[in-house]
Amino acid sequence: MGVEGIGARVTRKEDKRFLTGKGRYTDDMTVPGMKYAYFVRSPYAHAKIKNIDATAAKAMPGVIDLLDGKQLQADGIGNLICGWMIHSKDGTPMKMGAWHPLAVDTVRYVGDAIAIVVADSYGEARDAAEAVVVDYEQLPAVTGAVAALASGAPQIHPEAPGNLIFDWQIGEPDAVDQAIAAAAHVTEIEILNNRLSPNPMEPRATLGIYDTAEDHYTCYTTSQNPHVARLVMSAFYNVAPENKLRVIAPDVGGGFGSKIYIYPEEIICLWASKKTGVPVKWTSDRTEAFLTDAHGRDHVSKVKMAFDANNRITALKVDTIANLGAYMSLFSSAVPTYLYATLLSGQYAIPAIHANVRTVYTNTVPVDAYRGAGRPEATYLLERTMETAARELGVSPAELRRTNFIRSFPYQTPVIMNYDAGDYEASLNAAMQAADWAGFAARRAQSEARGKKRGIGMSCYIEACGIAPSAAVGSLGAGVGLWESAEVRVNAVGTIEVLTGSHSHGQGHETTFAQLVAGRLGVPIESINIVHGDTDKVQMGMGTYGSRSGAVGMSAIVKALDKVEAKAKKIAAHLMEASEEDIVIENGELKVAGTDKSVPWFQVALASYTAHNLPSGMEPGLKETAFYDPSNFTFPAGCYIAEVEIDPDTGETDIVQFVAADDFGNIINPMIVEGQVHGGIAQGIGQALLENVQYDENGQLLTASYMDYAMPRADDLPSFSLSHQNTPCPGNPLGIKGCGEAGAIGSPPALINAITDAIGHNKLTMPATPMKVWQALQTAH
């Protein structure tokens, strides 16, 4: 471990610009002649558009133009798509309804875009949008997943009768039913996973620039994956061919999944720039973000878990209904299927598993991946069930988990995943020790003496990251491969640019990726720049989500570095008249092993570009590209423990301690990994205690501002206790598993297990607000 290499706690290279106000986010961009967009959006959850009268709006001060969905359609701009095909168990393909970027005849959720106004200022665009008169015929709406499947429910898309998108299954239903029939004990539970809004602090924004002379488009956008945005806008939405479309995702202020997708606004601003002849910038306000950013979670599940007389799990049966909202977002179909049901084995050896998943349309914001994406739903379901089973069976939650842990690897689950490495008991032991589990009874007695209720709860999570082997996801329906690319470009003076298809929006890639290179070559970290987020600079990439940038993105850099080093060694061997096999790279020099002969790194770089004295036949230059396609998913796992104290008079939950023990494989920068866990836990606590997207019966979003949607604030949270028990991942060159989502996955069940432990029964749903906890305590009395 060097001071700047892998494993070092290096402070971040990117921090200074963010700390001094020099970050460059999409809304900070201005270009000559730029104008501002505002969208006319539906105030109804479900309605026919009878007429749009823009006469008054177009006459308003500063208005350049107003464009609607019919014009967009006439210009051949395509509908938005879901890029992951799922087939129902009867073999029929998922039933995808049309999603027009601007609604043409029907609106299906509050916030559905109808028209764009372009004006000299944001205020003038907004004034004009408010003057547009849309004649609606209101239709009945449905917002709940279960209600949407009921007979007589309002029908949202003609393509999907009964609002059912697909009815999918995984696993062995007969084996599961037989095991349940033969079980010594069956735990049954209904699990609700609440609906969330991701809420990165930077609202979405986009700047579309059309160049008439070159017939070329530039799109600045708040994206986690600009190359995918270019691919999709080009291949499916007919915005422009790829060579005529540049997508730039500059500094991006958080994503958490919500900035993976290609939304209507990017497409429309590019198109509007061509129509109006001016660059068009749109920036979401926070209410628009609640109304249009893809939401997360929203599952209703029924669970049966069967045990034998030795408390070993013999089967798991899950029936889930997932709410996908009004339209199928880009990866929405994958979240409640292959990112969810494939993790239902958890950390446990379960011989038989069956999951049935129905996805439904409702008159709500489209639902897609949010930090964890399917894995929090699986973990919450399993860990609430395990906790409930332990209480029913009269054994400690730790003992029930220990009895059922998977202990040898590789382990093939009944639901596709093949776990490659792990030590679940190590994390459980570390967490229990850190939390002083053994001392809980005494602490509870102290709380009771003060009139408080105290509870403790654990959760043992596993997730699948390093997304993903391209052929495997292709066979499961993915429309893209999930490899990553890297280019290592050594300049003539020896400084290095690393071009990556990953994208950093808070994860610190400019530091961790540079640490990898600095450690390998022994050159100063300041001499390395990481380049990302621009389709004109980086050839291709799949972006950042699913905790994949370390395991997949850095592995691509390793491959490119291997090639650079091999060529550099050839040059050095030639310069020193030594054998290539004897050259080693250390401390910024290429040395002949066992001698005092060496050449500095920069001299080899220079030699490659002067090309005066290269090995015969060698091409000049020192620049290599690599694509890395993972061979398997990675499987981060761990154990989280929450301890809470509840005031029975108010129902308020105080998190007394929160302990996380994680196995992320090898770690590049512990400081950054800890930061990822902190943030994930905060979002998980948010889900468990505070956050909930709520609609009224007409489909109006009641939680569309920070006055109504409870974001976790500093005084809602404790400091966290973290530790790592790392088993290196055997599947990638760095042994990395990924750490971005674990906190959000492991924490909600730990919290709810703790709170239900305190209140003494299980009748509690997330978020466990003071009102709900207080009501639950009255039920207990």
Partner 1 sequence: MTKVTLTVNGRAMSGECEDRTLLVHFIREKLGLTGTHVGCDTTQCGACVIHMDGLSVKSCSILAVQASGSTITTIEGLAGQGELHPVQAAFKEHHGLQCGFCTPGMVMTAVDLINREGGTLTEETVRAGLEGNICRCTGYHNIVKAILAADAEMATGRQAAE
Query: Binder to partner 1 among 743, 746, 748, 767 (CB under 8 A)?
Result: 743
Query: Binder to partner 1 among 83, 97, 144, 508 (CB under 8 A)?
Result: 508
Question: What amino acid occupies position 72?
Answer: L
Q: Give the integer Cα–Cα distance in Å for 426 and 429.
A: 5
Tokens of 758: 């305190």
Query: Binder to partner 1 among 562, 603, 711, 733 (CB under 8 A)?
Result: 711
Residue 28 binding partner 1, by CB under 8 A:
yes
Question: Across the chain, how many H-helices and E-strands are there?
Answer: 20, 28
Q: How far is the CB of 15 from partner 1 (least distance, A)?
A: 4
Give Dmax over CA atoms of the chain in angstroms. 88
Q: Which is nearer to partner 1, 9 or 407 (CB)?
A: 9
Q: Which is nearer to partner 1, 28 or 448 (CB)?
A: 28
Q: Give the integer Cα–Cα distance in Å for 744 and 266.
A: 29
Q: Which of residues 198-237 bind partner 1 (CB under 8 A)?
A: 199-203
Tell me which residue has tokens 């986690």: 224
Q: Which of residues 290-319 bind partner 1 (CB under 8 A)?
A: none
Residue 370 binding partner 1, by CB under 8 A:
no
Helix (H) or strand (E) holding 306: strand 296-307
Q: Give the integer Cα–Cα distance in Å for 506 and 512.
A: 12
Q: Which is nearer to partner 1, 81 or 117 (CB)?
A: 117
Tokens of 386: 């395990």
3-state DSSP helix/strand/coil percent for the chain, to nearest 5?
A: 30, 25, 45
Contact 348, 384 (CB under 8 A): no
Q: Name the one range near partner 1 by CB under 8 A: 44-52, 239-247, 251-259, 431-439.
A: 251-259
Query: Binder to partner 1 among 112, 463, 674, 757 (CB under 8 A)?
Result: 674
Q: Give the integer Cα–Cα distance in Å for 716 and 731.
A: 39
Q: How far is the CB of 538 from partner 1 (least distance, A)?
A: 20
Q: Which is nearer to partner 1, 54 or 129 (CB)?
A: 129
Query: Binder to partner 1 among 682, 742, 750, 768 (CB under 8 A)?
Result: 682
Tokens of 76: 């051949």
Look at residues 425, 423, 347, 433 and name the one whose alpha carbon lies nearest to residue 657: 433
Dihedral of the alpha carbons of 627, 629, 633, 637, in degrees to the nearest 10? -20
Q: Which is nearer to partner 1, 19 or 441 (CB)?
A: 19
Tell me which residue has tokens 């350049």: 64
Residues 6+ apart with CB under 8 A from 54: 66, 68, 115, 132, 133
Residue 719 binding partner 1, by CB under 8 A:
yes
Burial tier of 708 (Cβ tally within 10 Å: 0-12, 13-18, 19+):
middle
Q: Which is nearer to partner 1, 39 or 602 (CB)?
A: 39
Query: Binder to partner 1 among 111, 346, 680, 749 (CB under 8 A)?
Result: 680
Residue 20 binding partner 1, by CB under 8 A:
yes
Strand-pair category, 411-412 with 63-68:
unpaired
Q: Which of residues 144-163 bind partner 1 (CB under 8 A)?
A: none
Cis peptide, bond prior to residue 203, ω within 30 of zero = no
Q: Which is nearer to partner 1, 167 or 674 (CB)?
A: 674
Residue 251 binding partner 1, by CB under 8 A:
yes
> What beta strand segments (E) does 198-237 contain?
205-211, 216-221
Q: How far is the CB of 596 from partner 1 (least distance, A)?
A: 40
Query: Binder to partner 1 among 3, 19, 181, 702 (CB under 8 A)?
Result: 19
Q: Which of residues 69-128 bind partner 1 (CB under 8 A)?
A: 121-123
Residue 22 binding partner 1, by CB under 8 A:
yes
Residue 287 binding partner 1, by CB under 8 A:
yes
Residue 38 binding partner 1, by CB under 8 A:
no
Q: Give the integer Cα–Cα distance in Å for 360 and 75.
A: 31
Q: Give the integer Cα–Cα distance in Å for 311 and 314.
A: 9
Residue 513 binding partner 1, by CB under 8 A:
no
Residue 702 binding partner 1, by CB under 8 A:
no
Which DSSP letter does residue 779 get?
Answer: H
Q: Name the one range near partner 1 by CB under 8 A: 41-49, 69-77, 281-289, 420-428.
A: 281-289
Residue 252 binding partner 1, by CB under 8 A:
yes
Q: How far is the CB of 235 from partner 1 (least distance, A)?
A: 29
Burial 49-66 (b: 16+ CB within 10 A, else e): beebebeebeebebbbbb
Dihedral of the alpha carbons of 384, 389, 394, 400, in degrees to the nearest 10? -80
Query: Binder to partner 1 among 256, 513, 628, 635 (CB under 8 A)?
Result: 256
Q: Which is nearer to partner 1, 8 or 326 (CB)?
A: 8
Residue 609 binding partner 1, by CB under 8 A:
no
Query: Binder to partner 1 among 300, 472, 575, 671 (CB under 8 A)?
Result: 671
Q: Which is nearer to partner 1, 252 or 278 (CB)?
A: 252
Q: Which residues bind partner 1 (CB under 8 A)?
A: 11-12, 14-25, 27-28, 121-123, 199-203, 251-254, 256, 283, 285-287, 505-508, 671-672, 674-675, 678-683, 705-707, 711-715, 717, 719-720, 743
